[in-house]
Amino acid sequence: MDPISDAFHAKDFRIAFLMKKGTAFQDWFAELAGHAFGSDFEAVRPYGKQGDWKCDGRRLSTETIFQCYAPETASDQNTISKINTDLAGAVEKWPDFIKGWIFVHNDPRGVPPAVAAHLDAKRAEHPDLEIEIWLEPELVGLFGMMTPEAKRLMFGIAPTQGTAHSIGLADLEPVISALQRHEPDPSDEVPPPPSAKKLEKNALSNEASALLRFGRLRVRLVETYFGKNVRVELGEKIAEAFRDRYAELQALDLSADQILSYLQQFAGVSGEPKRQAAAMAVLAYFFDRCDIFEDPDEEAVGT
């Protein structure tokens, strides 16, 4: 598979993991697991009063029950309550099947200590049951098991190297128009461009770095767009919006890839391939020109 297309599909995966909530996340996980495990996975849907028997899907070969949880706002107390209710229900409803129980959660920060300790208590309570919690790393593993065709079916047609070269000024217009949502502070100075080692400094994944390099193929086109625009303050207005969004995300203690995924969603890197390519070019332009993500240490710059 084309590495650029695969990087865009990885972006689609990560944005979906972070953004989907409630039953939308449950349905997304079932589709992901179905593509990864094939006929070894069965999605279970609620039916009337009987519900879904506290099972959002099951893997036949391991006799494992999956239960998804993606609330709008997560808390230790609510997560522990959900674990208690769903685990007890699964053990009661599937006594002749269940050998493993996996709680699939989309909290991007990982497992809180109180939840981890509670899972330990549940493992002690059910010594014959394999109890796990799956977060982003485990779902990345499922994504890696998917064939290129499965990724296209789930995430759509992705841009290729050729898509970047096919976009023009008109393709940038809807992307930039959508970003005009923040008034800059006139006293805020425009920051200097970052060094070439910025990707390495922020420990972005190979896929994230590939997308930013892909976007750079058309950075000159973005420069031309802003150069032709009569509103000279437009570029700084959008840069300020990116800086504000980055500051909000950085305060959440997310990984660099997770922050970039939110910024990709903010920039509108979605839809048909040319729209994704145009939005990625705009994001790459501002990645280089405003203080989102960290610049390398001075000593690293000189090496």
d(CA 167, CA 1): 22
Residue 292 confidence (pLDDT): 79
Residue 129 confidence (pLDDT): 98
Residue 289 confidence (pLDDT): 81
Residue 60 confidence (pLDDT): 98
Answer for the pair 30, 48: CB distance below 8 angstroms, yes or no.
Answer: no
Low-confidence ranges of the chain (pLDDT < 70): 1, 181-197, 230, 291, 295-303
Residue 301 confidence (pLDDT): 41
Which token pair is 206? Answer: 């190979």
Q: How far is CA 222 from CA 97, 219, 225, in A?
A: 57, 5, 5
d(CA 197, CA 290): 15
The whole model's pTM is what?
0.86
d(CA 175, CA 192): 24
Residue 195 confidence (pLDDT): 47
Angle formed by the axes of helices 206-216 and 256-267, nearest 10°: 40
